[in-house]
Amino acid sequence: MNITGAALVSNEPAYQGARTLWFHAPAIAKAAAPGQFVMLHCSADGMDPLFARAFSVHRVDGDRFAILFNVVGRGTAWLAARVRGETVTMYGPLGKPVKLPRHPGNLLLIGGGVGVAPLVDLAERAVAAGHQVVAMMGGRTSAHLLPSSAWPREVEYVVVTEDGSAGPKGFVTQHLGKYQEWASKIYACGPNQMFASLADVLRGNGRRQQPEVLMEENMPCGWGMCYGCAIFTRKGVRLCCKDGPAFRLFDVF
């Protein structure tokens, strides 16, 4: 784990209500693996808000890495207001990463809302390793979707919106269709309701895909000291920050 003050390189809109921030942080960028996260102190003095906030590693490029987040409270509002050149205190990368299959296969990535954040890095690494990738994102409206340009050009990008303004109408788990049959491995990140729905859809398909999910829980510390991110699994209580955030879907749902 690295503790550093990272300089902000850029701060751009990602989609409605969300920002993408790039930081110059060589130690974190070099060490980050897909699915891991970093803890950022979202205040000038590190006191208000007191606890750091967890953000998935969204992308990595040399000595830089990016995060993608919705602006939802004081901490993220403070972070969204930072400008190029400012320094943000952070530590990481943390958490158990996702492991890509050893041999090239067909990977289906499913993101619900801001849960799409870690899947872009995963897609970039998967494409580089020779995998075929389909990425599906569900959002409230067309304004709440990542643009196709955010993904590697080799990725087939499929969108679903709750109001039908882009792609089919409904939730992303209702429109897996041919893709769940095509996939040899499935990864997902989003809210727990999406995971429960995904488990219902996949449980009886007999495909042995061993789907993995990246859990989203409150993580006050990030390394397993506070037990604020405890979840119940078939193997007992686990900590999202230390034992995850990558879990097998059917171990939890």
Section 127-139 average pLDDT: 98
| Amino acid 46: pLDDT | 61
- Write out pLDDT tens, residues 204-248: 776 777 899 999 888 888 888 888 899 999 999 999 999 999 999
- Write out pLDDT tens, residues 149-208: 999 999 999 999 999 999 999 999 999 999 999 999 999 999 999 999 999 999 877 677
CB-CB contact of 195 with 117 (8 Å): no
Domain ranges of the chain: 2-94, 106-252
| Amino acid 213: pLDDT | 96
Section 17-30 average pLDDT: 97
| Amino acid 48: pLDDT | 65
| Amino acid 225: pLDDT | 85
- Which CATH code, of 2.40.128.520, 1.10.10.10, 2.40.30.10, 2.170.150.20, is assigned to 2-94? 2.40.30.10
Here the tokens at position 8 are 């902000």
At a CB cut-off of 8 Å and minimum separation 6, what does 183 contact? 106, 107, 108, 134, 207, 209
Buried-state track 180-213, b at ≥16 Cβ within 10 A, e below 16:
beebbbbbbbbeeebbebbbeebeeeeeebebbb
Give CATH for domain 106-252.
3.40.50.80
| Amino acid 89: pLDDT | 94
pLDDT above 90 (res 4):
no
Section 35-52 average pLDDT: 82
pLDDT above 70 (res 131):
yes
- Write out pLDDT tens, residues 53-102: 999 999 999 999 999 999 999 999 999 999 999 999 999 999 999 999 99
- pTM as predicted: 0.93
Q: Residue 245, preceding bond cis, omega within 30 degrees?
A: yes
